[in-house]
């Protein structure tokens, strides 16, 4: 009796590769993550990365697109948005986008995708708020707040500051909110 060849579920394979890549990029960064490791983590042949995405860079860009989603986010001064991000990064660590945006790399396509992500998801919502509130230099203030937030997330994940890393996200939330709100002067 001949066993029919197993049919591959391309959509599921892509999903598994994106999930594995997101985890590994967050753990090791883009440069130190290999295609082979991604395939192993996904339980798939690493050659499927080239087939479905074209290569590691394109897979990374696909992880960024998944992170972006379709809905415009609230800004970092919205308590629920800040809470959600703190909880997410406390559980999963900073995503590959944060790391690619602040660490120099040889891949300009990845750096540009990370910058686009950060501007669309963190800077632009704050800029829009500050513009509506007629805050002086809204772009600069939005970038400062986003940079402070990213630095705090990376420092927590890296364990560089013991108390910061050990503080529960709910306890950190009001302190972080006050710090970010300081980028917006009160009238």
Q: What is the mean pLDDT of residues 137-160?
A: 92
For the chain, the domains span 1-69, 71-187
Helix, coil or strand: residue 4: coil
The sign one gets for the Cα dihedral 144, 149, 154, 156 is positive
Closest CA to 88 of 132, 159, 22: 22
Quick: pLDDT tens for 151-182: 999 899 888 899 999 999 999 999 999 999 88
Q: What is the mean pLDDT of residues 53-60?
A: 88
- Does residue 122 or residue 89 have the better pLDDT? 122
Task: From residue 180, give the alpha-carbon distance in Å to each of 4, 97, 153.
Answer: 59, 20, 13
* The domain made up of 1-69 is a member of CATH 1.10.10.60: yes
- pLDDT at position 129 over 80: yes
pLDDT at 108: 78
| pLDDT averaged over every residue in the chain | 86
Q: What is the mean pLDDT of residues 50-70?
A: 83
d(C-alpha 146, C-alpha 166), whole Å: 22
């Amino acid at each position: 009796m001949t066993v029919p060849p197993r049919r591959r579920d391309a959509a599921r394979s892509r999903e598994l590769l994106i999930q594995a890549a997101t985890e590994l990029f967050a753990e090791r960064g883009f440069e130190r993550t290999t295609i082979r490791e991604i395939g192993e983590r996904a339980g798939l042949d690493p050659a499927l990365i080239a087939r479905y995405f074209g290569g590691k860079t394109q897979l990374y860009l696909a992880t960024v697109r998944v992170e972006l989603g379709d809905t415009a986010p609230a800004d970092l001064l919205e308590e629920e948005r800040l809470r959600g991000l703190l909880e997410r990064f406390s559980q999963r660590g900073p995503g590959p986008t944060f790391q690619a945006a602040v660490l120099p790399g040889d891949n300009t396509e990845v750096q540009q995708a990370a910058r686009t992500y950060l501007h669309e998801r963190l800077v632009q919502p704050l800029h829009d708020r500050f513009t509506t509130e007629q805050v002086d230099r809204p772009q600069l203030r939005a970038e400062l707040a986003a940079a402070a937030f990213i630095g705090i997330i990376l420092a927590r994940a890296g364990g560089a500051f013991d108390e910061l890393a050990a503080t529960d996200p709910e306890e950190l939330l009001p302190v972080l909110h006050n710090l970010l709100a300081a980028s917006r002067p009160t009238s």
